């Protein structure tokens, strides 16, 4: 009688190990795929058309003494980002974040006057899809200057961008329902 009970217990144990192993493999794959998916999350989009502008991993800190105000904040759970408030000569205020790269299009020649970042010329940049103003490309006047560790960066207008996590929660009203 004892042998059949041992056999049943062994079969149950074997089945448990097989199921447990599958569960562990599934958990490991879920963790792995989750990590891979997180690498591609964190896009900042054009608020007008949803075009991908840059990733939050590309954001960097380029502080300016000409900012009216500076604060560190997060964008939908990302690492803290330096947000600076600037005023242009026409009296408009812009909250600006800085990025190493951006999928944008320049629309004008570079200008040196009224730069918020001394030593850098600026050029207006727009969304390549819809043409909305997204910010400026700042390029070092002297390529081999030791004052700044970067030769160029993008200053992006925070109000003209939307984090992809926020975009997922927006519901568009069909035009037929709008008056």
3-state secondary structure 147-163: CCCCCEEEEEEHHHEEE
> Cα angle vertex 89, ends 106, 54, to 5°?
35
45-167: CATH class: mainly beta
For 17, the token pair is 């190990």
Mean pLDDT, residues 122-132? 97
Instruction: Identify the pLDDT of residue 46.
Output: 96
CA torsion sign for 61, 66, 72, 73 is negative
Instruction: Identify the pLDDT of residue 150.
Output: 86
| Phi, psi for 95 (deg, rounded to 5) | -90, 125
pTM passes above 0.75: no
Delimit the domains of the chain by residue range: 1-40, 45-167
Instruction: Identify the pLDDT of residue 165.
Output: 83
| Phi, psi for 5 (deg, rounded to 5) | -65, -45
Instruction: Identify the pLDDT of residue 23.
Output: 46
Q: pLDDT, tens digit, for every residue of 74-98? A: 887 778 899 999 999 999 999 999 9
Q: pLDDT, tens digit, for every residue of 25-49? A: 544 444 444 444 444 458 999 999 9
Mean pLDDT, residues 3-11? 61
Mean pLDDT, residues 157-161? 97
Instruction: Identify the pLDDT of residue 146.
Output: 52
Q: Nearest-CA neighbor of 81 among 67, 105, 65, 61?
A: 61
């Amino acid at each position: 009688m004892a042998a059949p009970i041992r056999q049943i217990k062994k079969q149950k144990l074997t089945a448990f190990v097989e199921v447990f192993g599958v569960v562990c493999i599934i958990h490991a794959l879920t963790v792995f795929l989750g990590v891979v998916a997180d690498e591609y999350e964190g896009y900042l989009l054009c608020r007008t058309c949803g075009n991908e502008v840059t990733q939050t991993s590309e954001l960097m800190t380029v502080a300016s003494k000409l900012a009216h105000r500076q604060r560190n904040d997060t964008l939908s759970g990302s690492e803290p980002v330096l947000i600076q408030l600037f005023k242009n000569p026409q009296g408009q205020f812009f909250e600006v974040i800085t990025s190493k790269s951006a999928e944008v299009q320049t629309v004008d020649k570079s200008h040196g006057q009224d730069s918020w970042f001394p030593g850098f010329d600026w050029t207006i940049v727009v969304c390549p899809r819809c043409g909305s103003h997204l910010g400026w490309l700042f390029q070092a006047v002297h390529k081999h200057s030791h004052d700044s560790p970067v030769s160029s960066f993008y200053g992006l207008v925070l109000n003209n961008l939307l984090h992809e996590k926020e975009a997922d929660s927006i519901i568009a009203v069909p035009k037929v329902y709008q008056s």
